[in-house]
Structure 1
Amino acid sequence: MRDDLAAFAPQQIMLEAERGEQAQLSDDYQAYLNGELSINDQPYGRSERYQLGFKLAQTLELNDLTAADFYAYTPQSALNSGQNIEHYQAALGNLQRNIRPLIQAVQNDELSLYDYLTLMNQPQTISFTHRILFNTPAYVMHGDFNENAKQQIDMEGVNTDYIGAEFIGLFYQRNLNIYSNILNAQLASGAQRVLVIFGQLHVGVLQELLANNPHYEIVSPLNYLHSDEAERLATSFAQ
């Protein structure tokens, strides 16, 4: 996979790490290059940050990696009551029924990580997850967030009559901030080819934002990653 993605020849790699973590990220990467940091000893050593980000950056002889995330409390379970909540709960259940077995298959070595990540970047899969978080919740009205969410979210100005739309807004605002981080990091570096490595739930909205910016062209990883198994599995998300 790293070899396939290396063919894109990115001049900058952006990771799902907060901007405030940049110094630590840079230190960790330099330690890794110097043989002073073992990925296997890291708490999340199997994550894409290390397995793709660090190793690919080393292959490409990049001097650093870029932290581009903006953290916000946005759990899928925050929305749990309201008129028409059953529409969102059914969609969320459908998401879990489709994704969890795939994650389990990867953990059991029944599905390769290459196939899984290629599947997560298929258009059908992106549309499926994007719809569940950025469309379906709008059905829900006259409800509320759960108690734990209300402790984490600034509820001032939240219109609970439109609680589903407010829920979508939380996710969208986080991704707008991530988008801003991406734009400004690219401007600062001047890189012409940028690889953004983020969780799959961010892909749909970030693609929409970047597609409407005339200064950028989206290059699908599927131009470089090819998997018959991923294409076969993607048909189950075309609904």
Structure 2
Amino acid sequence: MLIKNLSLFLLIVFISDVALAQKMSIGRADKRQQEIFEQDKPKPQVLLLGIFHFAGEQVDANTTPANLSLDMLSAGRQQQIKNLTKKLAAFKPTKIAIEVSPNLQQYYDSLYHEYCAGKPLTGKYFKPADETIQLGFRLAKMLQLEKLYAVNAQAFRFKLSKADSILTFEKYKDQADSSFTYWDKAYDAEKSHQDSLAFFLPLNKYLEYLNSPPKQAKSIGRWLVTTKRGTNAEPIGADGFITRYFNRNVRIYSNVQRIVTSKNDRILVIYGATHMYMLKQLFAASPEFELKDIMTYLK
């Protein structure tokens, strides 16, 4: 009996030693990985702010009920924007990236210089309530930055040749699947819920909601429902996701990569909230950047 108990004890000790050795080995492996990717050295920091379009129906298709339409130029909303600007200033960004096409970089450079000089702003693309003006320009001027960086991108899906499967989408556009209708209704209901939150919540609280991980994860769900369109031979839904949503966000990420000029850069990216789930994954995975938590600057 004594021998049996001693054997059991030794087995338990052996298992504990193995577990401890494995734990130590994993710990050393993690440390070595950190050394390989130089995680102890300064890297450009990125702060991602998921936003909604302040100008509303002037930017996107207007689906918001009139009684929930936001006036971001009202005195109350202007004070909320000023408060948010002060919170974001604590990040001390050296660069601000905005959802504007690089083709319009010179136009926005000129617009920003006029803004800093206190001149009246005009132009085809100027919208007084736009978040680029109200938040981006305001913050950049406060920090005395020379410019803002246009990093928007469009997907390449419509530039593919006729031989590419994406152009067979029409063949499957009416493909029967009850889940498409079911989830469309769910996302329409969520849109109505968002309209109410945007109208009744203070700006920083609504942005906390838009930037929460569960909300951001759900933001790509409408796309993922449609990835099963087509067939195994012609997976048009998956192609559509890759060549439209995924491709566009990788292009946006690459545009941010190209504005880096120093390891000490602190880049604030102000972009539509529906892009943030994918952008966050890209910046978190990249060995070139240190991704910061936006919630620190919203609460």
Compute the TM-score of the two structures, normalised by the length of structure 2: 0.61
Q: Is 1:28–1:37's contact at 8 Å kept on the other side of the alignment?
A: no
- The answer to whether the aligner puts 1:178 opposite 2:234 as a matched pair is no
Q: CA deviation at 1:38?
A: 4.5
Partner AA of 2:140 in structure 1 = A
Q: 1:99 aligns with which of 162, 187, 191?
A: 191
Give the deviation of 1:197 after TM superposition.
Answer: 0.7
Q: Deviations over 1:110-153 (max 9, x none)?
A: 222222222100111001112332x32222224xxxxxxxxxxx
RMSD over equivalenced CA pairs, Å: 2.6
Helix, strand or coil: the match of 2:249? helix
Structure 2 residue identity aligned to 1:45: P
Partners of 1:8 and 1:90 in 2: CA distance: 42
2:235 and 2:135 mapped to 1: Cα distance? 40
Q: State the structure with bigger RCO (CA 8 A, min sep 6), 1 or 2.
A: 2
Q: CA deviation at 1:101?
A: 3.5
Residue equivalent to 2:236 = 163
Q: Partner amino acid for 1:174?
A: R
Is 1:68 the counterpart of 2:119 in the alignment? no
> Given the alignment, which residue of 111, 114, 117 partners 2:204?
114
103, 125, 139: which is aligned to 2:228? 139
How much does 1:73 deviate?
8.3
Q: Are the aligned partners of 2:111 and 2:121 in contact in 1 as well (CA < 8 Å)?
A: no
SS at match of 1:185: coil
1:26 is paired with a residue whose SS is: helix
Gaps of 5+ in 1: 143-158, 227-239
Any unmatched runs of 5+ in structure 2? 1-83, 158-169
What amino acid maps onto 2:193 in structure 1? P
Detail structure 1 runs of 4+ shifted over 4 Å in the superposition.
none
Which string of whole-angstrom CA distances, capped at 9 and with x for unpartnered residues, describes residues 203-222 of structure 1? Answer: 11111111111111211210
Q: Aligned equivalents of 2:288 and 2:202: distance in 1?
A: 35
- Give the conservation status (yes or no) of the 8 Å contact 2:197–2:206: no
In structure 1, how many angstroms separate the alpha carbons of the residues matched to 2:215 and 2:209?
Answer: 7
Give the secondary structure class of the aligned counterpart of 2:265. coil
1:104 to partner: Cα distance: 4.7
Superposed displacement of residue 166, structure 1: 1.7
Instruction: Look up the equivalent residue of 1:182 and give its one-letter code.
Output: V
Asked if the contact 1:95–1:129 (Cα under 8 Å) also holds between the matched residues in 2, the reply is no
Which residue in the other structure is 2:269 paired with? 196
Q: Is the 8 A contact 1:16 1:198 kept in 2?
A: yes
Letter in 2 for 1:101: H
Contact persistence 2:156–2:247 (CA under 8 A)? no
Q: Kindly indicate whether residue 119 of structure 2 is the aligned counterpart of residue 36 of structure 1.
A: yes
Contact 1:126 1:203 in 2 (8 A): yes
Identity %: 26
Kindly indicate whether the alpha-carbon contact (under 8 Å) linking 1:7 and 1:224 is maintained by their aligned counterparts in 2.
yes
Q: TM-score, normalised by structure 1?
A: 0.75
SS state at 1:71 partner:
coil
Query: Paired residues, what number?
Result: 201
Of 71, 76, 82, the residue aligned with 2:175 is 82
Cα distance between partner residues in 1 of 2:218 and 2:100: 25
